[in-house]
Structure 1
Amino acid sequence: MYELTIVKSLQPRQRHEEHTMTPEEKAYLISIGSASIDEALGVGLLPTTATAGPGAGGSSVFIRSGNRRVRLSINPASPLRIVPDGDAVAVIHNKKTIARGRLERPLCHCPEQAYITVSERCVFDCKFCPVPKLGGAIKDTETVVRMVEEAAAAGSLSAISLTSGVAGSPEQEVDRMAAVVRELRARFDLPIGVSVYPTADSTAILRAAGADEIKYNVETMDPTIFARVCPGLSLPSILDALEGAVEVFGRNAVFSNFIIGIGEEDEMVRDGVAYLAKLGVIPILRPISASPLRAGEIAVERPSAERLLHLAGMTRETLERHGLDPRRARTMCLPCTGCDLTPFWDV
């Protein structure tokens, strides 16, 4: 059990004091999820814009503190503020320093990875996701290859991660993604992770194309909530696909986003994490980001720092029992850690 003990960390720090962000501090930052930016950082700011998931359309920055990383959306109305602090930055609240670190340069969406959304549009209507409202671009294979080449030229590229909405049908999207993976596999000696909506053959197709890891998102393990927020999708089909993916990709190579803050109870989260872990799937507990494009369609509540710490600790214990370790993941969200309180990395 983890408890929030952040009183000491809220005291002002000396400008050049070395400090590694604690799990409690990171949980507090994630519980808010955003920050305003001091004008003095304008020239050196290293923002990235999300094109997939609940945070699509928003810009954010990454801060590295010791061995921990946090991603904060840029929001002028946020109670947090990122300010210069010597050769680093500090995140402050009511003139008190919460954490200190350095801004990290994202390559494509996140540091050290080319994390690319192939289809920035979706025919499904998940109520937490703004992508269907944005009508973004569909990248062809040549565009994706060029983006990866540019990321590689910038240095420190360690993985390629691909995600996608469903622009037409799930089957068409899998075929599009497979073509991209085949071309990337021929050109780059890097691990490739893929996140799509599953089809009957998607696991075999993407593995044959050269993908190393795969993510099928359950979104929530509460069937009642799933039916309400993901109309047209099938939770049983996703679970079947996850089970089959473990047989093909192996343990510690299959993942699933599990949104926190859309009305689920902690008991359901515990049971859902245990169910996925028993299959050999590593769940990623993702705090909900409320989208103004979905206002009135879904009630969301960003999880508190205390809840994030409790659920992350519970998830770590469950993963340990089932012999799963997020540190073995090479692509997508788990090695990034910016958006979540990640077991083994953070707690």
Structure 2
Amino acid sequence: MPEKIRVSIGTAALLGLDRCWLDVKPTTAYLMTYTEGSCIANCAFCPQARGSSSRKSLLSRVLWPVFPTGKVLEGLRLRAEGAFSRICIQTINYPGFLDDILSILSAIKEATELPVSLDAPPLERGELEMLRDAGLDRISIPLDAATPELFDRVKGRLARGPYIWEGHLKALRSAVDVFGAGRVMSNLIVGLGETERDAVELIQRLMDIGIRTVLFAFTPIPGTMLAGRPQPPLDAYRRVQLARHLITEGLARFEEMAFNEEGRLRSFGADEETIQRVLRSGEAFRTSGCPGCNRPYYNERPSGPLYNYPRRLTREEAHREAMRMGLRMNE
């Protein structure tokens, strides 16, 4: 069992490990493996990357302080089931990370009955089976980029990283075989240079093999290779969110959608009644991920603008987001 573990600052507050003001409480307990060294990967957007000069207490813009593992487990035992609906373990890539995950997972299962998810680098089928047999509920293996070319640039050879696009896809297919369709996710970061068409096409491709896409907005972090890159336009992100929701809910398909010459969405492939129902609910614009995941302010400041709403939208907010995309929401 590793002696230390990182905990997102919001999770730490709800477990009684730290004190901070929370505008929106996390509905999942977010943990991250701890190592004295760096991640062996070199993802261009990540503070944990091998070549990053960012603070290692960061993942995206969230602070992850270090605590004794035993203290965190005690907090989970006493408070988790009243505060959270799920536990999510993030792991960076380092020698022995799988052994750490297995021991942490075993200890969590003894402390609480909450379901546990994992966000991890590509794993072999036998390793995935070990995790399933140890009680892991769901897994995400993040592609992050929408195309093989972008993947190579931000995670692979051109980023001096160890990853290969096809290797990730192979691991994702194996994960579906092991965990089942709908229980495997892959992260997609919007704003790395893809078109809206690129993003939506990948969302459909993954959905067709049983993988749900988890959307993130690119967030520039000082000290990373992409620190100078701006966040994506909010209207573009909203269109991809809406398309993702329609695809994952079986309400439309990529092939039924229309794009302009620049790859911008101009038709969502669903009838007006369906579009109106989705817009009024606001669900498309909330944080995507495992059931119970809201990741408050992972991609934005609390003051906004919000890329992923960590709570239900008000009617006024839903109307504003529809207008942002040039869509009219009927009363």
The TM tier, using the shorter chain, reads 0.5 to 0.7
State the distance in 1 between where 2:198 and 2:244 align.
12
Question: Which of these residues, 101, 108, 122, is aligned with residue 39 of structure 2?
Answer: 122
Partner deviation per Cα, 1:122-178 (whole Å, 9 max, x = no partner): 12111100113434588775354234236428x32221111111233xxx2112101
Paired residue type of 2:239: H
**TM-score normalised to structure 2 length:** 0.63
User: Residue in 2 aligned with 1:335?
Assistant: 293
- What displacement does 1:291 show? 0.7
Amino acid at match of 1:161: C
Structure-1 residue corresponding to 2:110: 186
Residue 220 of structure 1: which of 124, 145, 150 is its match? 145
Describe the shift of the 1:163–1:150 C-alpha distance in structure 2 as closer, same or farther (beyond 3 A): farther
The number of equivalent residue pairs is 241
> In structure 2, what is the Cα distance between the partners aligned to 1:299 and 1:267?
24
1:159 matched residue in structure 2? 86
Change (3 A) 1:139 1:227: farther
Q: Show CA shifts across 1:35-83 (max 9, x none).
A: xxxxxxxxxxxx93799xxxxxxxx976xxxxxxxxxxxxxxxxxxxxx
Partner in structure 2 of residue 238 of structure 1: 168
The correspondence of residues 30-179 of structure 1 with structure 2, limited to 5 A, is 48=9, 103-105=23-25, 111-119=26-34, 121-132=38-49, 133=52, 134-135=55-56, 141-149=69-77, 151-152=79-80, 155-168=82-95, 172-179=96-103
Aligned to 1:275: 205
Unaligned runs of 5+ in 2: 1-7, 13-19, 58-64, 156-160, 254-282, 299-306, 319-331
1:206 aligns with 2:135: no
Identity %: 21
| Counterpart residue number, 1:81 | none
Q: Give the strand-richer structure, 1 or 2.
A: 1
Question: What secondary structure is seen at the aligned counterpart in 1 of 2:118?
Answer: strand
TM-superposed CA distance for 1:288, in Å, is 0.7
CA RMSD of aligned residues (A): 3.6
Deviations 1:155-213 (A, max 9, x none): 32221111111233xxx211210111112112311111111112213311211111111
Q: TM-score, normalised by structure 1?
A: 0.60
Gaps of 5+ in 1: 1-46, 52-59, 63-102, 106-110
Q: Deviations over 1:102-124 (max 9, x none)?
A: x234xxxxx23221111364121
Determine the structure 2 residue equivalent to 1:301: 230
The structure 1 segments of at least 4 consecutive aligned residues displaced by more than 6 Å after TM superposition are 137-140, 322-326
